[in-house]
Amino acid sequence: MRALIFKDKRNIFSLAYGALRWYINYFLTRNPLPLACDLYITSKCNLKCSFCNIWRKQSHAILPLSEARGIIDNLSNLGCFYLSISGGEPLLVDYIFDLLLYVRGSKIKYIHMVTNGYLLDSSIAKRLKETGINEVSISIDGRRQFHDEKRGAGDSYDRAVEAVENIKEYAPNTKIVLNTILWPREPFECLHVIELARLFEVYVKVQPLNQHPIFDTDNSSVISSGGISQAEIKEVVTRLRKEKRVVNSGLFLENIYNFFFEKKNLIFRDSPCIFGYHHIEISENGRVFPCLEGMNWQNGLDYKGDLMSLLRSSIYKRLLEKLKLCKGCQRNYYICYYEPRINFPIVNFLKSVFCI
């Protein structure tokens, strides 16, 4: 994943400067300073993915544009380098292009968006080009029938592939990543996405299937852990590690096997987690989380328009101390938590590079 960011050499210096500021701040004050933010602007979605519980929420929200802009202002002033915008489906939000342009005018250097691609036609691709967005991730889980079944729409595969073609043609400077889920009972499906990545000369992020948070006990998807072949998982992981278009770190891919079969051997199992000191997550209702998974997607904090004050508050610092002992990353193996921890702080990065 870091390889995508570093394709633009200017990002190396910007991130290095941000990281230096973070280190000085952390070791002198132990205050959090977000280098990256995941911003969920809506819980509304146009697909009904079998594994996802977000669309199953009883009510849905869209973060108001004025509040979203205030968040961007706060993040920019704090020196945030990376912003990922997702949902739900962010292209359902009518202000999405205004927001992307607003981010581009801030000090935030790298803008990423996650979409299922269903709405991403040529006109959307042209507007994305105007925003200067750095990277778009499009979800494809396997071959056409498999993907459509998992995503709950009969033409979702074709629409996702068309989205890739549209960005390639109308926003050629935007990097494209195919987000694919490694389904433990059908692990070879994700290899089809590798073929697509080669065909379109784009990249792939692999996410093992996880248990999504349950918001409604009467309407939820619960993942079963039985019937998984160790040999098949090993084979697929080996093939993924050899593929140049897969942007996951080798260490992340290696530990997919441990996640499914030997959790006692997972990386970071005995390490205190400081994810919330360099990352922040903000939900569609404007609530702030040092870590959504660690807080079970509940009880986010109200920042009242001043993110700095919240990050320096005693309640936020107590929460960070509590999350150091969190075992959420043993329950689920989310790329958005593990990869940042693999790459930061520098000790973890060196371990991943040199396989220490």
Alpha-carbon distance of 65 to 132, in angstroms, equals 19
Residues 6+ apart with CB under 8 A from 53: 212, 213, 214, 215, 216, 220, 221
Amino acid residing at 283: S
The SS3 assignment for 286 reads: coil
Average of per-residue pLDDT across 17-33: 94
Fold for the domain defined by 2-354: TIM Barrel (3.20.20)
**Residue 215: what residue type?**
F
Query: 206: helix, coil or strand?
Result: strand
User: Structure pTM?
Assistant: 0.94
The predicted-structure confidence for 82-119, as pLDDT tens digits, reads as follows 999 999 999 999 999 999 999 999 999 999 999 999 99
Q: Which residues contact 264 (CB under 8 A, 6 or more apart)?
A: none
The average pLDDT across 270-287 equals 95
The residue assigned the tokens 């079969």 is 261
Residue 297 has pLDDT above 60, yes or no: yes
| Strand-pair category, 36-40 with 82-86 | parallel
- Asked if residue 198 has pLDDT above 90, the reply is yes
Please measure the distance between the N-terminal and C-terminal CA atoms of the chain and give it in whole angstroms. Answer: 19
Question: Which residues in 38-51 are b (16+ Cβ under 10 Å) and which e?
Answer: bbbbbbbbbbebeb
Q: Is residue 355 over pLDDT 60?
A: no
Partners of 289 in beta bridges: 281
Residue type (1 letter), 54? I
CB atoms within 10 A of CB 107: 16
Q: Tell me what percent of the residues of the chain surpass a pLDDT of 90.
A: 81
Residue 222: the pLDDT is 63
pLDDT at 2: 66
**With bands split at pLDDT 50, 70 and 90, how would you rate the model's confidence at 166?**
very high
C-alpha to C-alpha distance for 98 and 83, rounded to whole angstroms: 15
Q: How far is CA 279 from CA 59, 130, 216, 269, 274, in A?
A: 27, 28, 27, 19, 9
Closest CA to 10 of 134, 106, 102, 126: 134
Q: What is the mean pLDDT of the chain?
A: 92
- List, for residues 227-239, the tens digit of each pLDDT value: 899 999 999 999 9
Residue 81 has pLDDT above 70, yes or no: yes
**pLDDT for the residue 240:** 98
